[in-house]
Amino acid sequence: MLKYANFDIVFQEVPDEVTLAINISNCPNQCPGCHSKYLWDNIGKDLDFNELNRLVSHYESGITCVCFMGGDNEPDSVSELARKIKDSHSNLKTAWYSGKNDLPQNVPTDHFDYIKLGRYMAELGALDSATTNQRMMKRLADGRVKDITEWFQRNKHVEVLEVEKNPAE
């Protein structure tokens, strides 16, 4: 059974979406430089569809996307929850932040609008780093999958410009 340690409403993890990001525990990846080592333990609350639906329904008026952060020990469960979200909340996008370098074999991924792949390697940086090994893939309306990693680097640049424009803030 998947478990989640906590969740948050975030704005940068999925382009142009207000995202309910659910931090799933029991992470098997042990990335060097991991920023969330507490997620290596099998902690938190069971994340079945009833619990997920409770969270999503509570925040639905303010979000546009649901993102599963982790869950690489049970990719089939993550996939199934995403499918159920698509079936029951067709207005919402779905995303998955996997720490694996490749998609899992024999697990449907066509009900994710976004999938991030790649271990976190501190020396290469995260998605907003020009040297990152990670990739964000977006499913287009025609079903094709596009690598949109570059969005994160462009968006980081915009943020810096905004700060420079408002030096007193």
Task: State the residues that interact with ligand SF4 by CB under 6 A.
Answer: 27, 29-31, 34-36, 39, 70, 99, 119-120
Q: Give DSSP secondary structure letters for 82-107.
A: HHHHHHH-TTSEEEEE--SSSPPTT-
**Distance in Å, CB of 88 to ligand SF4, minimum:** 27
Comparison of 30 and 88: residue with beta carbon closer to ligand SF4: 30
Residue 49 tokens, joined = 């569809």
Tokens of 52: 């997920």
Nearest approach, Cβ of 27 to ligand SF4 (angstroms)? 3
Which residue's C-beta sits nearest to ligand SF4? 99
Closer to ligand SF4 by Cβ: residue 38 or 58: 38
Distance CA 7, CA 69 (A): 9
* Count of other CB atoms within 10 angstroms of residue 83: 16
Q: How far is the CB of 103 from ligand SF4 (least distance, A)?
A: 15
The least CB distance from residue 44 to ligand SF4, in Å, is 13
Nearer to ligand SF4, 99 or 138 (CB): 99
Q: Give the Cα separation of 68 and 112 in Å (integer).
A: 10
Closer residue to ligand SF4 in complex, CB, 23/94: 23
d(Cα 103, Cα 116) in Å, to the nearest integer?
10
